[in-house]
Amino acid sequence: MKKYFIIAVAALAASAACSKVETINQTPDTLIGFNVVKYAGQTKADAYNSLLDEKVNDTTITHFKTNAWFHAEGYAAQAFMVDQIVLSDNDSNTASAPTYWAPFGRNYYWPKTGYINFFSYAGLPAPTAKAEGSLTYNNVTVGTGSNILVADAAYRYSQNATSANPYGQNGVTEGVPTLFRHILAKVKFDVIFDAKTGMTASDKDKWTVSITSASINVPQQGSITLNFTDPGSTGTAAHAGSDAWGSLASYTTVNNVTGTGANVASPENYEIDDAITLTAVAGKKSDEENRNDGTDTGAPAKLIAESAVIPHTLGDNVTFSMSYKLAYSYDGGTPIQENVTVSNVKLTEFAPSISAWAMNTIYTYHVIIRPNKVVLFDPAVETWAPETDEPVYTVE
């Protein structure tokens, strides 16, 4: 042991004495940092676009994890960062943007030769396998408040990118470009009560509807592997392949309107009568226009709150169900009441134009309750038919 120790000390002394030997420059500009923004399609025009805008189960995402591989000439790829936590200097969503994001717990310095490839992810659930060039989510369970973000891979970087706003977004301006994309989809349902269609101001009909439950049945478990392709030069690369997840299993009922929880709407009562003047909005009557309180906001009422779902081609198991109580009265008379149930309507029948849910996309489904189907009669008169067995009466 002493032999090796003496050699090491001698080598260090020699390098310090030789002016031609390059010393390690550990000034701050060689520290590895990250330039973090959120996917441009989900940003606000007048706010900084930070990962700090994102939440999992109503809790703000304050960090992400990076796996990085170092490539030096003559050597195989070496693990450089393994699930390294990266934090910003601003861990709350305030008016000011973060000025930098950096690895937590230790400093990382750019190598003097070679390059590094970076693969980053955030949110929950976490990937079940990480490799250079891919992230795998195998049989992960996705809940309504899940949020999985995967950054474009950053290939062949040997120094921090210094161009201001490399994605045309506000935010930090120096570091490894780290552009996050959502790999889940979101769906939400609203409800519109339209009892005026086909009626006039002189009608004395009054309708009241009380929604007691609403739910969708969706897969809760799935798998996907996101693959990245080395562009062959310094730059970023989005994951390749389909948006669709596979190995779908464990179907679950989401967001029953009568339940409790952060993602569940409370039951609403909607009422319409002749005192309200209604104006169609895009061919539909909005809940607020129909509600008997004189307001007119043009906003439908929430039926099933915004929920994370697995992107996939919609099959027969993805269905919508709803129950409500309907009361009808005429000219102030005693209401006639009934319970109405809509069970397991396939969403592909609900909206045939939407055959699949894609990543990074929010789908809004409108449910229109239109109760006043007018009772009609189809009168007809049977033609006269002669009796063939004609009676004969003889008067004598």
Q: What is the pLDDT of residue 356?
A: 93
Q: How many percent of the chain have pLDDT more than 70?
A: 63
* Exposure of 73 in the CB half-sphere (CA atoms within 13 A): 3
**What pLDDT score does 370 carry?**
73
Query: In this predicted model, which residue has the larger pLDDT, 8 or 36?
Result: 36
Give the pLDDT band (50/70/90) at residue 331. Answer: confident
User: Are the C-beta atoms of residues 34 and 86 closer than 8 Å to each other?
Assistant: yes
Report the share of the chain in percent with pLDDT over 90: 35
207: pLDDT strictly greater than 70: yes
Alpha helices in the chain (DSSP H): 2-17, 287-290, 347-350
CA distance 12 to 372: 90
Q: pLDDT at residue 74 above 80? A: yes
**277 compared with 38, residue with greater pLDDT:** 38
Per-residue model confidence (pLDDT) at position 75: 92
123 or 1: whose pLDDT is higher?
Answer: 123
Q: How do residues 147-187 score in pLDDT, each as one tens digit?
A: 999 999 999 999 988 765 555 444 556 789 888 889 999 99
Residue 122 has a pLDDT of: 95
- Residue 179 · residue 39 · CB < 8 Å: yes
pLDDT score for 118: 97
DSSP character for 28? G
Greater model confidence, 225 or 40:
225
Q: What does the block give as tokens for 189? A: 């349902």
**Which position has the higher pLDDT, 172 or 64?**
64
Count Cα neighbours of 68 within 13 Å in the Cβ-side half-sphere. 28
Sequential DSSP letters for 173-225: -SBEEEEEEE-SEEEEEEEEE---TT--TT--EEEEEEEEEEEEEEEEEEEEE
pLDDT value at position 313? 94
| 59 has pLDDT over 80 | yes
pLDDT for residue 387: 58
Q: Would you say residue 267 has pLDDT above 70?
A: no
Residue 305 pLDDT > 80: yes
Beta bridge partners, 116, equal: 70, 157
Residue 298 pLDDT exceeds 70: no
Q: What is the CA radius of gyration of the chain?
A: 32
Q: What is the pLDDT of residues 307-329, one digit of tens each?
A: 999 999 999 999 999 888 887 87
Q: What is the reported pTM?
A: 0.76
Residue 39, pLDDT > 60, answer: no
pLDDT mean over 242-266: 67
